Structure 1
Amino acid sequence: MWKCGQKTVYGVTFYTLQDDALFFNTNKSNDIDAGGPISHFKRDDMWVSWGKVPFIPFKNNRVEMTDLSFVKPLIDEYDKSRSEAANYVEEVKNLIFVLYGYGGQDLHEFMRVLNEDRAIPLDDKESGGLEPLTPTMDITALREHYEQLKRDLIEDGQSINKDLDKFGSAPSGVALKFMYAGIDLKCNALETEFKMGFENLLYFVDIYLNEINQGGYENVEVDIVFNRDMKINESESIANCGASLGVVSNKTIVANHPWVDDVEMW
């Protein structure tokens, strides 16, 4: 028996799964030989319960789904579109020959003679002839389709938009924040779920410390801090630090300088 606040917990109830049905396991739930109802762990030959099931979930999101599940259909469609474009380019030849009055036996013979002799014989010199056609490969719609799929993948997957045509080769600090906006939102959601997981973990840590006589920390506030890294434009940040001299304290400037790792050393 273990008291959790005003609630007394006597042990763990066990069930056995048989043919998709749960049955109460009397022997394991009331094991007299084990010293009473079996619980989570023993303390001085006495079974003790955590007060709740000791499973601590660290969820990826509220719906408990992997990130791949949100973008897999888009990835499959993107691969299909690129494959169709590749097949189209492969199947369409550079030149198509239209023959009039050719005296050869078949097309294979025609290609052999053309490649070897660089000329072809014609039976009818007046009406016969050869016209090369250059096919036009119109894959504009297909290209636009998979480009849109790529944009959808970045948005739905909350990935980084690395379109340098829009942001340039040296994006400013504002542009970098815009590029990383999706993954920043993803981090916000993940941080919320992981904070809940750590709070559940602290419940068991508090009980464990109390059981080993290391003190009671049930009412002690704990701040869980997640440190994040964000890409910045170093030249712009250094210029801003120089422009801030005399406006803010030197310690604040040093703390925001991108080349300073340990502010306390200054």
Structure 2
Amino acid sequence: MISIDIQAIERIRQSQAQARMERVKATQEAERYYANITDIKTNKPKPSAVAAPDPVRSADNRLSHRWHGLLTDQKAAYVATYPPLIDLGSAGQNKRLQKLLGDRWGRDFRRLVVDATNSGCAWVHVWQEGGRREYGIVDSKQLIPVYAKGLRRELLAMLREYEETDDAGYRWTVLECWDAQECQVWRRKSVGAIPAEWESYPCFAVYEADLLAGESNIYRHGIGSVPFIPFPNNLLLKGDLHLMYKDLVDLYDRVSSGFANDIEDVQQIIYIITNYGGEDLGEFLNDLRRYKAIKVNNDGVSSGGGVSTLAIDIPVEARNSLLDRLRKDIITFGQGVDPDPDQIGNTSGVALKHKYGLLELKAGALETEFRPGVAQLVRLLLPDLPEDGAIKQTWTRNLVQNDLEQAQVVEMLAGVTSQRTLDENNPLVDDADEEGARRKADEARMLAPQKESPLFGGGEE
């Protein structure tokens, strides 16, 4: 544990300022691409085009293709449509955990996958509230993790920096420092180029004998460890966009936009008019922009004027070939599944799973990185869980599959496999615990003595 001292904290903050700035920039860029605002949308036109627009090349289409959003949504849907089923070995403990995770667990888990894909590592924060523990996803751009120098890379403390506005309308930069015992908070005004000094920020209520005694900038969280849980995207802690395919996406946008500009610019024929007035360059450009016509003088040999046309050939086949190649490379290096129906066809079974091969590799790597985070979240939410207690995670892929084939496999394994395993792999069962309870209820109903109906004689009078 580090000593919570604002001077020491500021030194740590400054030492990681450059790395944090690069990480925040990469994350913001990935989030922008996820929202389909790629570089071609934000890049400004060249100064030459602004100063002297090309009369022939007037179109400026900027076509943005949401490749990053498509591949990210594929990954999130494949891995997180069905969040991992967690089995603690006890129906009672399972119900407690399910209550703590709440109905939002499925949505939050999908958001974790998207955040990790964009930022390289998503983070979950755990805190005490009303006698129970809660969790929430924290924006990774706000966080500065501080690790110990050992080989295990243990999280020593977490700095969280963010902006907020007070009731008077002033903007403040708030800095929190969390360690294994407490959180301490400072803030300073966000005014001017030179930042103000950090000052203590008493934002936590202090109670004595259930009565409000004041406020403090120190909060004893009682978690027993730094209450932040990492969910890495991969071993490199990098987002998919910059690691896999950003250059390919940018080139695809440029080629596609250039293609659209060529089509738009040559829709009309440019007329070449021979031996017809005008020597001023400004007049020449103005006539070309307005009338799609140019004026040329007689070459001194032929007599009289003339009119001919000028057409521009567009290399359609070459551009289509490049776009097809880029599309294939984006899908391949992005480890996704091509959504083109011609690529999927009527394949099923093993052939269909082969189509998902690259996506499965990416999903498997993410699962390996997420499993420790899920287990740590469970242990923080249930502190009374035995340290050596088993936490079984069952991950389900959202893969198009033949339910009949899966049901036949389950039927073949009946008698040689436990009923619990059969329930977990039954394509019609979502919750193995609930299915077991229903089976016991059915068995009890079948064994219960049946009363004869008075309508058919017998029964109690």
Report the equivalent of 2:316.
139
Report the equivalent of 1:191.
367
Report the equivalent of 1:88.
262
Q: Relative to structure 1, is the Cα distance of residues 190 and 89 closer, same or farther in structure 2, using a 3 angstrom cutoff?
A: same
Query: What stretches of structure 1 of length at least 5 have no aligned partner?
Result: 1-10, 23-37, 113-125, 210-215
Report the equivalent of 2:399.
230
Q: Is the 8 A contact 1:60 1:190 kept in 2?
A: yes
One-letter amino acid of the counterpart of residue 145, structure 1: L
1:62 Cα deviation after fit? 1.9
- The answer as to 2:146 corresponding to 1:156 is no
Report the equivalent of 1:248.
412
- Identical amino acids, percent of aligned pairs: 28
One-letter amino acid of the counterpart of residue 152, structure 1: D
Give the Cα–Cα distance (whole angstroms) in 1 for the partners of residues 228 and 370 of structure 2: 14
Q: Deviations over 1:55-105 (max 9, x none)?
A: 2111222222222333333222211111111111112245455556789xx
Q: Relative to structure 1, is the Cα distance of residues 127 and 88 closer, same or farther in structure 2, using a 3 angstrom cutoff?
A: same
Give the Cα–Cα distance (whole angstroms) in 2 for the partners of residues 241 and 14 of structure 1: 56
Q: Which of these residues, 354, 363, 382, is aligned with residue 178 of structure 1?
A: 354
Give the Cα–Cα distance (whole angstroms) in 2 for the partners of residues 58 and 241 of structure 1: 31
Report the equivalent of 1:220.
389
Give the Cα–Cα distance (whole angstroms) in 1 for the partners of residues 270 and 370 of structure 2: 62
Query: What stretches of structure 2 of length at least 5 have no aligned partner?
Result: 13-179, 184-208, 210-219, 278-282, 292-302, 440-461
One-letter amino acid of the counterpart of residue 148, structure 1: R
One-letter amino acid of the counterpart of residue 374, structure 2: F
TM-score normalised by L of structure 1: 0.57
Give the Cα–Cα distance (whole angstroms) in 2 for the partners of residues 241 and 155 of structure 1: 29
Q: Relative to structure 1, is the Cα distance of residues 39 and 101 closer, same or farther in structure 2, using a 3 angstrom cutoff?
A: closer
Q: Deviations over 1:155-214 (max 9, x none)?
A: 22222212333442x2233332232222222221111111111233345456x32xxxxx
TM-score normalised by L of structure 2: 0.36
One-letter amino acid of the counterpart of residue 147, structure 1: D
Tell which has more relative contact order, 1 or 2 (C-alpha 8 A, sep 6+): 2
One-letter amino acid of the counterpart of residue 394, structure 2: V
Report the equivalent of 1:55.
228
Q: Is the 8 A contact 2:181 2:225 kept in 1?
A: no
One-letter amino acid of the counterpart of residue 141, structure 1: A
Report the equivalent of 2:428.
261
Give the Cα–Cα distance (whole angstroms) in 2 for the partners of residues 225 and 91 of structure 1: 56
Q: Relative to structure 1, is the Cα distance of residues 161 and 133 closer, same or farther in structure 2, using a 3 angstrom cutoff?
A: same
Q: Which of these residues, 54, 60, 79, is aligned with residue 253 of structure 2?
A: 79
Give the Cα–Cα distance (whole angstroms) in 1 for the partners of residues 361 and 257 of structure 2: 32
Q: Which of these residues, 16, 35, 49, is aligned with residue 6 of structure 2?
A: 16
- The answer as to 2:54 corresponding to 1:64 is no
Give the Cα–Cα distance (whole angstroms) in 2 for the partners of residues 248 and 54 of structure 1: 46
Secondary structure at the aligned position of 2:229 is classed as coil
One-letter amino acid of the counterpart of residue 55, structure 1: F
Secondary structure at the aligned position of 1:224 is classed as strand
One-letter amino acid of the counterpart of residue 386, structure 2: Y
